[in-house]
Structure formats: C-alpha cells, structure tokens
Structure 1
Amino acid sequence: MKSISQFFFFAVILIFVTGCTSKDETKDVEIMVSAAASLTDALNNLKNVYEENNENVLVTFNFGSSGKLATQLEQGAPSDLFLSASVKDMDKVTSLGLINEASKVNFTRNALVLITHTDSDLQMTSFEDIDPDNIGHFAVGEPESVPVGRYTKDVFDHLGMWNALKSHMVMGSDVRQVLTHVEMGNADLGVVYSSDAFISDKVKVLAEADPAWHAPIVYPGAVISEAKQPQAAQDFLDFLTSDEGKNVLKEYGFK
C-alpha cells in the first residue's frame, strides 16, 4: 500500500513539474521594463493584452520614481525599456549613452491635481486656495528624485507658496506613496497626477494645476542601448504608442 501511495505522490509531482516547465518554455523572450510608478495600473492592463497577442513574450516591470530608475540604469541595473514620467530623467540617461536615441518617443501626457480624502470636508477650487494655517500634513513627492515632486515645487514656487507650506509637507518616494498617504488619512492634502486620482475611490480631486505653472508633464520612452531583448522592447514600445495602447492609457486617466 505504501509503495502505491508513493507512486501516486511522485506521479502527481511529475505532472506538476512537467506542466510548469511547459508553461515556462512557451515564454522564450522576457523583457524587463523600468517604468514610472504612475503607469502601474495602465501597464499591467497593457501587459495582459500584449502577452495574449505575443504568447512567447513575458513582460516584467520594475516600477519606481523616474529619478530612482534613472539612477539604477546608471548603476548598471538590467533593463530593456525605460518609460519615464519626466523628460529630465530621460535626458539624464540619454546623456550617459544608456538608451537607443532613435527609439525615443513621447507616448503620453498627464496633469497635476490637488487631492484630499473622500471623507474630508476641505473645500477649495484652486491650489491658490490652500491656507497653511488650516491644514496638517501635506503629501508631495520628493522634488530631488520624484517627477511629481518637481512639478509640485514648480507650481508652489510660481505661486510663491513653497516656503509657507514646506513645514507641513510629507515627502513621498514616488507618486503612489503620496496617493497612499492621502488614502489612509495620513495627510489632509496631496498632489498627484490626474491618472493616480482617477484609479482611486478613496480620494477626490479639489483642483487641477494650471499647466503654465509647471514644466510640461510628458512621458518619454526608449529602448536601453544594452538591452538583451531590443527588438521585443521596441515592439512593446510600439504597442504602447499604437491606437490600442493610447486608448488604454486614456482609460486610466492619461491625456
């Protein structure tokens, strides 16, 4: 009886291993995409669509702030494609010769919005309405490494409000951390992209920044010069800029 039980046990294991192996073998091309955190939801959707149409390709993501991703690439982190939320960070890796310049393309845009928790009774219709005396914590991106933080600083520098608000600020390591602070009630206000506010049912938008107050929020993408899978990376970037890709981005609040 024991030998029969052992036979069935090993047979099940063999079937399981064989099944896993067969599944992995169908993915003979894997591309690593270093992408801005604000693209998380849209790209996970696009990944599913792309992989359905390209059964031999596996797309994996490394999400983070564009500044930190650029630093990782500079330090030699493996990647095939860089999708940035900032021209400045793309220019940095371009100047270092880390991307294929011929592949570089701006694939979407975004807007900057002021948010609060859905349960908040704060009322304002413009960034100019913020009164430092009436707020506690204010979540923003770290300006040195997070694009949304740089755009936020642009806005408040333009309005002459940065220094007055600075003592209230809680710095986020990427835009999703800023969003989380407001969702969890750890901050009264936050500044995120319109696409981030769009995907959350825990925050509401109070105001949208005038585009003249900050640098254009443009998302450039490019294939890494040392990519292991340059053709597959270019193909995914082409898909991102296709009508189908643009429609998915619009569904997630991108411009």
Structure 2
Amino acid sequence: MTMERCVKLSAAALFAGAVAAFAAPGAYAQTETLTVAAAPSLKAVFQHIVPMFEKEYGAAVRVEYGPSQTQRRRIEGGAPIDLFLPASVEELRKLQDKGLVLSGKPRVYAETSLVLVMSAASSALAVSFSDVLPNGSVRIALGDPTTSALGDITARVFAKFDPSYRKHARLTYGPHGGEVVDLIRTGKADVGVLYRVDAINNGGVRIIDEIPTGTYAPVQFAGAVVSTCRPESLQIAAKFLDFVTSPRIQKLMIQYGFDPVLSHAVTG
C-alpha cells in the first residue's frame, strides 16, 4: 500500500470516527466558530442560509469568501479552514488527490453556466460570444486563471474555440467575478465573462449571450470537509455540508439563480 493511500485511508477513518462519536442528537461539542472557505458566488444566498443553520444547530459560522484556487492553496498550506465550498468541483478533486479531503468524494449541490455580459448602463448594441472572441477591437474582462475557478474554466473554454486567442484578443483580468464586473462598470472593458448566477445577482451588468451548450461541462458547486478541519469542528462541519446539500437548501439556491443539479452530475 502506497504512502498516499495510507494518508487517504487514515484521514477517512479519522473523519468517520469523529462524526460517529457525536452521532446522538444534542451531543455537540462545538465550542469554536466553524470556518468555511467559500466562493464569492455564494455570498448572496449564504446571507440567508448561514443564519438558518446557526439558528437550527446553535453553532457560529464564519464564512471567508475568496477565489477558489486561492482558497485551495490556503488549505494546502495548512490554513485553519474546516469546510471548503469552491465554485468548481475540480478544486476539491485536486485536494482529494493529495489526501486532503476528509469527507469522501466532493458533494455537488448546485450548477451554473458561463455567460457573456456587458454594462447594464451601456447603450452599445449587444454582441454574441462568437462575434467577440475573434474581434480584436472588443475589450474582454475575464477572471484570472491563476487565482479563480472562473478564470480557469473560461480559459479552457476559450482555448476550445481558438487555441491562440490570447495573441489577438484584447484581454484584461480580474482576480474574481466581482472584479470582472468592476472592470466593465468602470469602462475598462466592453464585455466580460461571468458565472450566470453572478450576473443574475448583480444589477450592474446584463447578460447578452450564453457560452454555447456542449462547449464545456456545467460549472458544479461542491463541498467537502478538508484536512485542516479542527477535531472539535468535524461534526458540525459535516452537518453544515449535509445542510447545504439538502433538497430544501438546493431549492433555495435555485431562487438565487443557481441551476439545479442535473442527473448527469458526477462527484468522483
């Protein structure tokens, strides 16, 4: 048995044992605040979800929002994070491959898509995605592929259309979706690419096109308890993950613009 395999088995056994030890209702030993690293796309809906959870479970929750790749690297560096909820299941798979996930396979609970947006205040004519990419005169704002899951996914999609797009497209980058919106709002970009859920929840932009279906797999939001979770937080972290992935919370997320998890969604 390889060392990596031993680490994964040990982590899984630790997680299962800790949760089982507190299985009885009301047997919580949580004395510290649960720390959740989450994608900025979750901020709007979490303003509703987190108070619900705190009221029902009597636990304090602190959510640290940030680009998913940046958050994943923080966990790899040992940052005190109990639960990771990135905007791409791929970020969790990278941690899983290193034995840094305690709760088994990442659990997908919502989806979204990529859309092309422009300023809501702009009087310019709307353009399509197929018109924008080869047009060197259009300034395009994208997520930074080195920090955000949005940027990484967008770069892979653009590369499918045109492997050399970086050579002729006028690109400017923001570290996350909020910065992409700011680049458009301040006139530093004509259009940008966002997650559909972010565009819906931001009055500063309007959707003008959706990245063609079949170009990429749906953007899957997933969660997992990670290796940096403190022992005293293991049970409540698992409960929060159950809560977020429950049918009633998924219905709430749809109200905030997320797409439901389709039957083809995978977590392996």
Please, what TM-score do these two structures have when normalized by structure 1?
A: 0.82
Distance in 1 separating the partners of 2:209 and 2:127 = 5
- Measured after TM superposition, the shift of residue 216 of structure 1 is 3.1
Matching residue's letter, 1:217: V
Residue 84 of structure 1 is matched in structure 2 by 86
Pick from 27, 38, 42: which aligns with 2:41? Answer: 38
Matching residue's letter, 1:190: G
- Note if contact 1:223-1:234 (Cα within 8 Å) is conserved in structure 2: yes
Distance in 2 separating the partners of 1:94 and 1:58 = 27
Pick from 107, 116, 124: which aligns with 2:118? Answer: 116
Distance in 2 separating the partners of 1:211 and 1:164 = 25
Pick from 178, 182, 196: which aligns with 1:180? Answer: 182
Distance in 1 separating the partners of 2:227 and 2:215 = 34
CA distances 1:22-54 after superposition (whole Å, capped 9, x unpaired) = xxxxx9441100111221211222112212222
Matching residue's letter, 1:251: Q
- Note if contact 1:103-1:234 (Cα within 8 Å) is conserved in structure 2: no
Residue 102 of structure 1 is matched in structure 2 by 104
- Measured after TM superposition, the shift of residue 65 of structure 1 is 1.1
Structure 1 gap segments, 5+ residues each = 1-26
Residue 234 of structure 2 is matched in structure 1 by 230
- Note if contact 1:94-1:101 (Cα within 8 Å) is conserved in structure 2: no
Percent identity of paired positions between Structure 1 and Structure 2? 29
Higher helix share: 1
SS in 1 for 2:214: helix
Moved more, 191-200 or 144-153: 144-153
SS in 1 for 2:35: strand
- Note if contact 1:87-1:218 (Cα within 8 Å) is conserved in structure 2: yes
Residue 248 of structure 1 is matched in structure 2 by 252
Matching residue's letter, 2:238: Q
Distance in 2 separating the partners of 1:165 and 1:116 = 20
Pick from 43, 56, 79: which aligns with 1:53? Answer: 56
Distance in 1 separating the partners of 2:207 and 2:183 = 15
- Note if contact 1:132-1:164 (Cα within 8 Å) is conserved in structure 2: no
SS in 2 for 1:140: strand
Q: Would you identify which runs of 4 or more consecutive aligned residues in structure 1 move more than 6 Å?
A: none
Distance in 2 separating the partners of 1:124 and 1:162 = 21
How does 1:5-16 map onto structure 2 within 5 Å? Answer: none
Distance in 2 separating the partners of 1:122 and 1:165 = 22
Pick from 46, 62, 65: which aligns with 2:64? Answer: 62
Matching residue's letter, 2:220: V
- Measured after TM superposition, the shift of residue 71 of structure 1 is 0.4
CA distances 1:212-252 after superposition (whole Å, capped 9, x unpaired) = 21243111210113412011111111111112211221122
Gap change, CA 1:238 and 1:165, over 3 Å in 2: farther
Residue 141 of structure 1 is matched in structure 2 by 143
- Note if contact 2:89-2:106 (Cα within 8 Å) is conserved in structure 1: no
| Count of residues in Structure 1 that have an aligned counterpart in Structure 2 | 226
Matching residue's letter, 2:70: K
Distance in 1 separating the partners of 2:157 and 2:129 = 8
Residue 72 of structure 1 is matched in structure 2 by 74
Matching residue's letter, 1:86: S
Structure 2 gap segments, 5+ residues each = 1-29, 260-268
